[in-house]
Structure 1
Amino acid sequence: MAQRYGGRYSPDPRPDDPETRDAAKRLSTAPTRYRIDPAGARVNFLYLPAAVLAFVSLGGGPERLALGLVGAALWALAAWLTREGLRAEAAYHDRKVARRPALPRKLLASLLTGAGTAIAAGVTGTDLLGAALYGVIGMALHVTAFGIDPLSDKGVAGVDQFQQDRVARAVEEAERHLEEMRRTVARLGDRHLEGRVARFETAAQDLFRTVENDPRDLTSARRFLSVYLMGARDATTKYAEIAERGPNDSARRDYLALLDDLEENFAARTRKLLQNDRADLNVEIEVLRDRLRREGLRTGYSEE
């Protein structure tokens, strides 16, 4: 009787395989930060009016066809900018230290939506004033549905802007390295490997948030945010090139071992930074208590 193959590296591993159980146990004990596309399916519907406008413009002569295609292109570009704007806004809100998006994508999308709506109204025979009103209404509806882009930088209170900008730039660069790793692994279609990279991403994100909470930690964490993540990205690219040529258990084991080492080192660095922060806090508390005692005030804590 034929038996379905299922090992550690198969798409559907057998639960009774020892290596599969060990891998599943490691994955279950470490929380993974799942990424949900902030754009969602609602943005996909924005492409539908563009397709409809292009289709209905086919039978109205060259002028109507040209206007219809321009309006459809504006709507399609607005849909794409809306998607990218929602993603940029989600990344902005995920960070404690972040710069506002350099390009206000959602605002531009609203303007393009209004322009496309005005052209679409003109294609259907509406007069100039009516088309302009339709355009304003379309722009207002887009702003109401999707909002506007973040218009100001945000940071940690009590930290100068220069330090916050340094942290924001470093974290943005590190996030790009993680994004490239994620896209490269997704290309392979390996669910286990995608989960393993997601675990490492969680450890890296914890370090990012720790540095954002205290930008003074950037100096000791800069190598992790740049050199180590660049190395992880390059190693992921190399492994993907090997895996796309055919199965290679040795290369896979080496790559998984690298991810294990990186995750352990990132987690250790995060713990060290948190311990340093607590030590600094204890020093500040003791200094404050000494000052209160010199002023003859009670601190509310018993002295041992």
Structure 2
Amino acid sequence: MAKRFGGRFSPQPRLDENDPRLSARPAPGEIRHPLESRTRWVTIMAIPFLISAFWQDPAGLALHLLAFGSIASGMWMTREGLQAEAAYDARRVARRPAIPRKLFGGILTGLGLALGAYVPGAEAGAGVIGLAGAMLHWLSFGSDPMRDKGMEGIDGVQQDRVHRIVTEGEAHLKAMQDAILRTGDRRLEARVALFAAAARDLFTHVEDNPDNIGALRRYLSIYLQGARDATIKFADLYAQTRHPRARQDYETLLNDLETEFAARRAKLLEGGRADLDIEISVLRERLAREGVRPPPTPAEPAELQSPMTLDDLLIPRESEKPRR
């Protein structure tokens, strides 16, 4: 795909990919599996079934067309399964795909090879070829994720709610990035990309901690929807007027929202640490009641908890003075 030129010495430099403010979480459309290109090549290799079909009798025509359609459908299912697997691997907390797409893709691929190799009187040979094709598909693309990851102790209903809200938030971010393209300004595109990165950091935190969705729902729905509407209106206005005040106000809005997202995420992290401290203290009290003494927490001596001077060392304290 062609990309607009931009670089260090360009009057409108493009976004620096090494910017530390960028999120490690990619956008849903940017997640790619390294084996996706194989599905395209397998589909291309099945084209001879499509071409040779028109030189066959009616039965052969149908078989060859079905063979090509089955292989192409299997590769489409496999590509969808690879994308689902890439999204699964990119998250620390994820559910297994609801449909084992790679498994169905392998079955369709084997069926297509069996149909293409079918000859009357040699059905066993066609079945062996189809079975071998399905096995080679499994060896080439692997199997689908078959178990949930990081879901122990997480409410499934809350996780589904988080998924719906995050999907809605991603749609708002995509609309913002599409709208800002109308301005033709690379700096503004980069600024919106940085804002999207900050929002996706919050998405990652919510997916890892679904219990916090109640506190973040307003930020993930109302605020992002407002940012989307503001971006659309600004893009229409700035594309016509190029008014610097409108640009400044829009960038100030993004700065305020991005700061609010970062502050909210930090506050939730601090709240998580406080909850952990409370749970640890309650556990220690229960162990003490049952006669099991937990290992003592190493504490600093009292005299080391505050800074001491030379006078403190030479002059005895009131409690250490000898009694008369």
Q: Under TM normalisation by the shorter chain, which class is it? A: 0.7 to 0.9
Give 3-state SS (helix, strand or coil) of 2:117's partner: helix
Which residues in structure 2 correspond to 1:1-304 (within 5 Å)?
Answer: 11-12=5-6, 15=9, 20=12, 28-33=19-24, 34=26, 35-38=30-33, 39-122=35-118, 127-178=122-173, 195-233=190-228, 242=236, 249-250=242-243, 258-288=253-283, 297-302=294-299
Contact kept? 2:36, 2:82, Cα under 8 Å: no
CA distance in 2, matches of 1:255, 1:27: 24
Deviation sequence 1:70-119 (CA, Å, 0-9, x none): 21112111111111111111112222333332222111111111111111
Task: Provide the aligned C-alpha RMSD in A.
Answer: 3.9
CA distance in 2, matches of 1:258, 1:116: 55
Deviation sequence 1:252-281 (CA, Å, 0-9, x none): 776655544443332222112112112222
Contact kept? 1:57, 1:69, Cα under 8 Å: yes
CA distance in 2, matches of 1:301, 1:121: 74
CA distance in 2, matches of 1:265, 1:84: 36
- Most deviating of 287-296 and 159-168: 287-296
Gaps of 5+ in 2: 303-324
CA distance in 2, matches of 1:94, 1:168: 15
| Compared CA separation, residues 237 and 62, structure 1 to 2 (3 A) | farther
| Compared CA separation, residues 136 and 231, structure 1 to 2 (3 A) | farther
Decide which structure has greater helix share. 1
Bigger radius of gyration among the two: 2
Contact kept? 1:115, 1:135, Cα under 8 Å: yes
What's the offset of the Cα at 1:45? 0.8
CA distance in 1, matches of 2:295, 2:17: 49
What's the offset of the Cα at 1:218? 1.0
- Most deviating of 40-49 and 289-298: 289-298
Tell me the TM-score normalized by structure 1: 0.75
Gaps of 5+ in 1: 1-9
CA distance in 1, matches of 2:215, 2:136: 47
Contact kept? 1:47, 1:76, Cα under 8 Å: yes
| Compared CA separation, residues 72 and 274, structure 1 to 2 (3 A) | same
Amino acid at match of 1:129: A
Give 3-state SS (helix, strand or coil) of 1:302's partner: coil
Aligned length in residues: 289
